[in-house]
A and B are shown apart, each in its own frame.
Chain A
Amino acid sequence: DGGITQSPKYLFRKEGQNVTLSCEQNLNHDAMYWYRQDPGQGLRLIYYSQIVNDFQKGDIAEGYSVSREKKESFPLTVTSAQKNPTAFYLCASSIGRASGETQYFGPGTRLLVL
């Protein structure tokens, strides 16, 4: 059963704490992405990776970090430097790096600040 999984579904962060959101795909896709969605807003790109061991900043990378050690996995860390982390975080993947490739989304992680 192929797809994109994200965990946890809900995550609570305390002040000053770093938290890591998991994203795994078994679609054999080369490219993976992290987006943030705030209420009533469109999706904003945080980071993306087109190949293992390589990633680029998106439009709102400050306060976030990523790694891409395996093709299947693209975890996102929300650091204490991100002052307004409450949002719906979406991971996506696409087959390759060509400009026409469709992105498919995981179920999302909702991050809340305690």
Chain B
Amino acid sequence: QKEVEQNSGPLSVPEGAIASLNCTYSDRVSQSFFWYRQYSGKSPELIMSIYSNGDKEDGRFTAQLNKASQYVSLLIRDSQPSDSATYLCAVRGGGNNRLAFGKGNQVVVIP
């Protein structure tokens, strides 16, 4: 079982709609969870970090964490063409400072 799994295939959403991305992880004692955005040919940039169960909102982005079910999700409200990118889920396990990354989800916002 892979450490961090993200849905495969690109996600196409109309401009103004909500994009929903999911990520599951295998290490039950994981403590820290991150979403990074990566534009084509560029390096990842941090969007959100979340450490506790529940929702965390920052502007148009909401991260949701459910440790019992071992998943973390990212919602992008009012999607804009500038949101078109690959979104990487990263999880840090308990007891170390290594990040495990998923393969990423490509989001395409259609004007």
- A97 located at the interface, meaning its Cβ lies under 8 Å from any Cβ of chain B in the complex: yes
Tally of A-B residue pairs with Cβ under 8 A?
54
Number of B residues with CB within 8 Å of any CB on chain A: 25
- From A40, A41, A107, B43 is in contact (CB under 8 Å) with A107
Within 8 A of A (CB), among B31-49: 31-32, 34, 36, 42-46, 49
Residue of A nearest to B103 (CB): A42
Stretch at the interface among A13-21, A43-51, A61-69, A72-80: A43-51
Q: Identify whether the interface residues of A are mostly helix, strand, loop, or mixed.
A: loop
**Contact: A102 with B44, CB < 8 Å?**
no
Interface size class of A (residues with CB under 8 A): 20 to 34
* Inter-chain contacts of B102 with A (CB < 8 A): 42
CB distance from B49 to the nearest CB of A (A): 6
- B110 located at the interface, meaning its Cβ lies under 8 Å from any Cβ of chain A in the complex: no
Most chain A CB within a 10 A radius of its CB, from B43, B101, B103, B104: B43
CA distance A95 to B39 in the complex (A): 24
Task: Please report B residues at the A interface, Cβ cutoff 8 Å.
Answer: 4, 31-32, 34, 36, 42-46, 49, 51, 88, 90, 92, 94-99, 101-104
Query: What are 30 A-B contacts with C-beta separation under 8 Å?
Result: A41-B103, A42-B88, A42-B102, A42-B103, A43-B88, A43-B90, A43-B101, A44-B101, A48-B98, A50-B97, A58-B98, A90-B43, A90-B44, A94-B97, A97-B97, A99-B31, A99-B32, A99-B92, A99-B96, A100-B31, A100-B92, A101-B97, A102-B49, A103-B34, A103-B99, A105-B45, A106-B43, A107-B42, A108-B42, A108-B43
